[in-house]
């Protein structure tokens, strides 16, 4: 039940408390706030909702030409929306983009019921009936129409309620909110609207000067409509042909108009996934990542960035990294995030030994992994060798397509591996056990924690390893010495030999089977 905006607000209130517990040399700053675009989007939809209500009231006044008649739907619209808020609260919904969009759309449906009811009651008043009797007879006559109209509108939304998968989860809240708003508006139109009509509506002879002055214009418009309608009825065949052509054009446009799941959103943040050759070392990866950062920071649209390398919960291999690029405000940079990406790509391509794949960060995503690009295609097989054979072929075919850009694969089989073979007879004569060899290798390269140093404010782990100069090449294995059972140290190379081979840096899985994900962007 947590709300992202509420969580961010609570974190911002706790940041000053966190800063007081840190040393004076440590400063806490907000690097990226993902709620900025969400707040702006919600604010825009709220403004559109208020603007829609205002426009509806203005149009009602222009056509009803009576302040008293305009008050009735003007009350019905916000009352229906308030009633919808109550049902949303009971269902656990929040005011997000989807629910606010549903409320904005429902404004037109909400006012329809009230207008139909008012017009029918006003017709009885014009015929000379008292307002109370006109409200009773008019509401009784039009009540079934409003009920049938409400049921038909909700029936249109039923497919959205039962849609599955991601689309269903997205639009279910939208459909429920819109259905509730339509249902509440029907109840208001059948109860409150007739009551207010009996109190506020008056006959035409009692209307003001604006009503009488505009009456001539409306009568002229109705007369003009009658003339054009007669003209259309005189050419029924041509009218039907135009209707058929319109239907055919609609179908053709539906077929040929480009389609997509979500439009690309400019959130002011770009995610970059860097990839170096599988044989790269950690220091070399750090240097190349910094080269990318220097190129990115030179762009005038970039405000700041954060860079990550090394294996963690997102980076599965040591030759990959991430760069989160924070852009300036759209009014200040003057270009979209996609334009910034296209502007940076030629300069980043000149950085030797590393590739950066960039895409705009989206507020709404359905992927469960960090991808290099916007689109992914995953192939899987129970036979890892078959997967290793076909994945590169498919990748080459995709790279040959002119419609695709930034084609990449997460299959990395070119990593270096050193296999150490033990001469067990020689090791046994020297009194060296396999466990002693394993302990020596782990002490040298495994980052064994041997102690913890405690201070008044912190604690520090003491990690045992060889000097970095002995970690550059497998040849350094010959310089290691293993302690024998007699206490003497024996060079590791005297009873072992190593062979260099290649191996996969990581084996990705989709479910239980090995999988390879091919990612790509579409050409502009």
Q: Which two tokens stand for residue 428?
A: 């046994």
172 or 290, higher pLDDT: 290
Superfamily (CATH) of domain 264-366 = Multidrug efflux transporter AcrB pore domain (3.30.70.1430)
Q: What are 94-139's pLDDT values in tens digits?
A: 877 778 888 888 877 877 888 888 888 888 887 888 888 888 988 8
| pLDDT value of position 497 | 86
Ramachandran assignment for 447, one of left (phi > 0), alpha (psi -120 to 50 degrees), beta (any other)? left
Of 140-154, 205-219, 320-334, 346-360, the poorest mean pLDDT is in 205-219
CB hemisphere CA count around 45 (13 angstroms): 16
| DSSP class per residue in 454-486 | E-SS-EEEEEE---GGGSS-GGGGGG-EEE-TT
Expressed in angstroms, the distance from the first to the final Cα of the chain is: 39
Does 202 score more than 80 pLDDT? no
pLDDT digits over 85-99, tens only?
A: 899 889 888 877 778
Pick from 6-10, 52-56, 282-286: least confident: 52-56
C-alpha distances out from residue 337 to 43, 140, 306, 366, 475, Å? 21, 57, 17, 20, 47
Range 32-205 classified under CATH 1.20.1640.10: yes
Query: In this structure, are residues 516 and 387 in contact, taking their beta carbons and an 8 Å threshold?
Result: yes
Q: Rounded CA gap, 227 and 267, in Å?
A: 53
- Backbone angles phi and psi of 206, in degrees to 5: -100, 5
Q: Tell me the average pLDDT of the chain.
A: 86
Fold of 415-503: 3.30.2090
Domain 32-205 and domain 264-366, same fold? Reply is no
**Burial class of 291 by CB neighbour count within 10 A (0 to 12, 13 to 18, 19+):** middle
Q: Is the pLDDT of residue 347 over 90?
A: yes
Higher pLDDT pick, 475 / 349: 349
**Res 453: pLDDT:** 93
Tell which wins on pLDDT, 12 or 108. 12
User: Cα separation of 114 and 119, whole Å?
Assistant: 9
Where along the chain do its domains lie?
Answer: 32-205, 214-259, 264-366, 415-503
Q: Judge whether 307 and 32 are in contact, CB under 8 Å.
A: no
Q: Strand (E) positions, 314-432?
A: 320-327, 355-360, 375-380, 404-409, 415-422
Residue-wise pLDDT for 262-283, tens only, equals 777 888 899 999 999 988 888 8
Please check the confidence at residue 296 and state whether its pLDDT lies above 80. yes
Q: Does residue 507 sit in helix, strand or coil?
A: coil
> CA-CA distance, 77 to 245, in Å (whole number)?
38
Confidence at residue 472, expressed as pLDDT on a 0 to 100 scale: 79
What are the backbone dihedrals phi and psi of residue 455, each rounded to the nearest 5 degrees, phi first?
A: -120, -175
Of residues 69 and 337, more confidence is placed in 337
Taking the C-alpha atoms of residue 34 and residue 288, their distance in angstroms, rounded to an integer, is 28
* Contact (Cβ atoms closer than 8 angstroms) between residue 176 and residue 161: yes
Higher pLDDT, 298 or 498: 298
Q: Which of 36-50, 182-196, 475-489 has the highest mean pLDDT?
A: 182-196
State yes or no: pLDDT of 312 exceeds 90.
no
Beta-strand pair 375-380/404-409 = unpaired
Per residue in 402-458, pLDDT (tens digit) is 989 888 888 888 888 888 888 888 888 888 888 999 999 999 988 889 999 998 878
Q: Say whether pTM exceeds 0.85.
A: no
Structure tokens at 59: 């149009």
């Amino acid at each position: 039940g947590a709300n992202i905006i509420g969580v961010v607000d609570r974190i911002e209130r706790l940041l000053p408390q966190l800063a007081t517990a840190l040393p004076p040399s440590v400063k806490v700053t907000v690097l990226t706030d993902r709620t900025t675009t969400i707040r702006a989007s919600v604010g825009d939809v709220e403004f559109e909702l208020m603007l829609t209500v205002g426009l509806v009231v203005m149009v009602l006044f222009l056509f009803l030409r009576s302040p008293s008649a305009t008050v009735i739907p003007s009350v019905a619209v916000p009352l229906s929306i308030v009633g919808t808020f109550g049902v949303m609260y009971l269902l656990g919904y929040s005011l997000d983009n989807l629910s606010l969009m549903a409320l904005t759309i429902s404004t037109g449906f909400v006012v329809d019921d009230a207008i139909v009811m008012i017009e029918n009651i006003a017709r009885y008043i014009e015929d000379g009936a008292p307002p109370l009797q006109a409200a009773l007879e008019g509401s009784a006559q039009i009540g079934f129409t409003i009920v049938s109209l409400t049921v038909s509108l909700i029936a249109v939304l039923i497919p959205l309620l039962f849609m599955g998968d991601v689309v269903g989860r997205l639009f279910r809240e939208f459909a429920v909110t819109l259905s509730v708003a339509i249902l509440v508006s029907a109840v208001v139109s059948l109860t409150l609207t007739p009551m207010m009509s009996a109190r506020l509506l008056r006959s035409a002879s009692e209307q003001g000067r604006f009503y009488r002055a505009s009456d001539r214009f409306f009568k002229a418009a109705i007369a003009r409509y009658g003339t054009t309608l007669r003209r259309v009825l005189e050419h029924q065949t041509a009218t039907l042909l135009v209707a058929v052509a319109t239907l055919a054009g609609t179908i053709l446009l539906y077929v040929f108009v480009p389609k997509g799941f979500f439009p690309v959103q400019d959130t002011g943040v770009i995610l970059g996934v860097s990839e170096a050759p599988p044989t790269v070392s950690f220091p070399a990866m750090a240097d190349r990542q910094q080269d990318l950062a220097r190129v990115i920071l030179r762009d005038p649209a970039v405000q700041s960035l954060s860079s990550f390398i090394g294996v963690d919960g997102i980076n599965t291999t040591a030759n990959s990294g991430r760069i989160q690029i924070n852009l300036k405000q759209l009014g200040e940079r003057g270009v979209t995030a996609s334009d910034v990406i296209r502007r940076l790509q030629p300069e980043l391509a000149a950085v030797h030994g590393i590739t950066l794949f960039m895409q705009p960060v989206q507020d709404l995503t359905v992927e469960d992994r960090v991808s290099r690009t916007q689109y992914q295609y995953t192939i899987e097989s129970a036979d890892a060798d078959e997967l290793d054979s076909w994945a590169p072929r498919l990748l080459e075919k995709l790279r040959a397509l002119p419609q695709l850009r930034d084609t990449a694969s997460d299959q990395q089989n070119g990593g270096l591996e050193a296999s150490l073979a033990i001469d067990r007879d020689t090791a046994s004569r020297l009194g060296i056990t396999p466990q002693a060899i394993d302990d020596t290798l782990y002490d040298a390269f495994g980052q064994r924690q041997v102690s913890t140093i405690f201070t008044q404010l912190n604690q520090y782990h003491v990690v045992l390893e060889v000097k970095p100069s002995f970690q550059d090449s497998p040849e350094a294995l010959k310089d290691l010495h293993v302690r024998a059972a007699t206490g003497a140290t024996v060079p590791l190379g005297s009873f072992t030999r190593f062979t260099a081979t290649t191996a996969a840096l990581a084996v990705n899985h989709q479910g239980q089977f090995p999988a390879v994900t091919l990612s790509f962007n579409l050409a502009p």
